[in-house]
Amino acid sequence: MSAGNGTGRPLLAVNNIEVIYDHVILVLKGVSLRVPEGGIVALLGANGAGKSTTLKAISGLLRTERGDVTKGTVEWRGAPIHREGAADVVRHGIVQVMEGRHVFEHLTVDENLLTGAYTRPGGDALRRDLDLVYTYFPRLTQRRHVRAGYISGGEQQMLAIGRALMARPRLMLLDEPSMGLAPMLVAEIFDIVARLNREENVAVLLAEQNATIALKYAQYGYVMESGRVVLDGDARTISDNEDIKEFYLGLTGVGQRKSYRDVKHYRRRKRWLS
Amino acid sequence: MAFFFDLFVNGLMIGMMYALVALGFVLIYKATSVVNFAQGELVMFGGYVAAALITLYHLPLAIAIPVLLGTMVLLGFVLERVVLRPLVGQQVISVVMVTIGLASVLQGSAALVWGAQTKNIQLPIRLEPYIIWEIYISPVNIVAALVSAGFLVAFAWFFRKSRMGIAMRAVANDQQAAMGVGINVRFVFAVSWAIAGLAAALGGVLWGSMLGVDTQLALVGLKVFPAVILGGLDSVPGAIVGGLMIGGIESVAAGYVDPYVGGGTKDFLPYVLMILALMIRPYGFFGREIIERV
Q: What is the pLDDT of residues B46-59, one digit of tens each?
A: 888 888 888 878 88
Strand, helix or coil for residue B250: helix
Predicted ipTM of the assembly = 0.83
The dihedral through the CA atoms of A21, A22, A25, A26 has a sign that is: positive
- In a mutagenesis test of the A interface, which of B179, B181, B293 is the best target, namely the one with the most A β-carbons within 10 Å? B181
Nearest CA to A148 out of B88, B48, B169, B238 is that of B169
CB–CB contact B179 A86 (8 Å): yes
Task: Flag whether residue B164 sits within 8 Å of chain A, measured between CB atoms.
Answer: no
- Is B249 within the bounds of a domain? no
- Is B235 within the bounds of a domain? no
Model confidence at B293: pLDDT above 60: no
DSSP summary character for residue B116: S
pLDDT by residue, tens only, chain A of 274 residues:
344 454 567 899 999 999 999 889 999 999 999 999 999 999 998 888 899 999 999 999 988 888 889 999 999 998 999 888 898 999 999 999 999 889 998 899 999 999 999 988 878 888 899 999 999 999 999 999 999 999 998 999 999 999 999 999 999 999 999 988 898 999 999 999 999 999 999 999 999 988 889 999 999 999 998 899 988 999 989 888 877 777 776 665 455 555 555 555 555 566 666 4
* Domain interval for residue B137: 2-218
Give chain A's largest Cα–Cα span.
Answer: 64
The number of helices, as runs of H, and strands, as runs of E, in chain B is 11, 2
Residue of A nearest to B174 (CA): A104
Nearest CA to A206 out of A226, A227, A186, A183 is that of A186
Q: What Cα–Cα distance (Å) separates residue A29 from each residue in A6, A19, A55, A225?
A: 21, 7, 14, 10
- Is B275 within the bounds of a domain? no
- Is B229 within the bounds of a domain? no
- Is B236 within the bounds of a domain? no
Strand partners, A15: A73
Find all residues with CB under 8 Å of B19, minimum gap 6, and list them. Answer: B148, B152, B227, B239, B240, B241, B242, B243, B244, B247
Q: How far is B100 from chain A (nearest CA, A)?
A: 27
Runs of H (alpha helix) within A33-152: 51-59, 86-92, 109-116, 124-136, 138-141
Q: Which of A60, A87, A163 sits opposite B184 (nearest CB)?
A: A87
CA A271 – CA A137 distance, rounded (Å)? 41
- Is B237 within the bounds of a domain? no
- Tell me the one-letter amino acid at B289: E
Q: How many structural domains does chain B have?
A: 1
| Cβ contact A34:A12 at 8 Å | yes
- Is B240 within the bounds of a domain? no
CA A176 – CA A43 distance, rounded (Å)? 10
- Is B53 within the bounds of a domain? yes
CA B223 – CA A199 distance, rounded (Å)? 58
CB–CB contact A115 B291 (8 Å): no
The dihedral through the CA atoms of A173, A179, A183, A185 has a sign that is: negative
| Cβ contact A162:A140 at 8 Å | yes
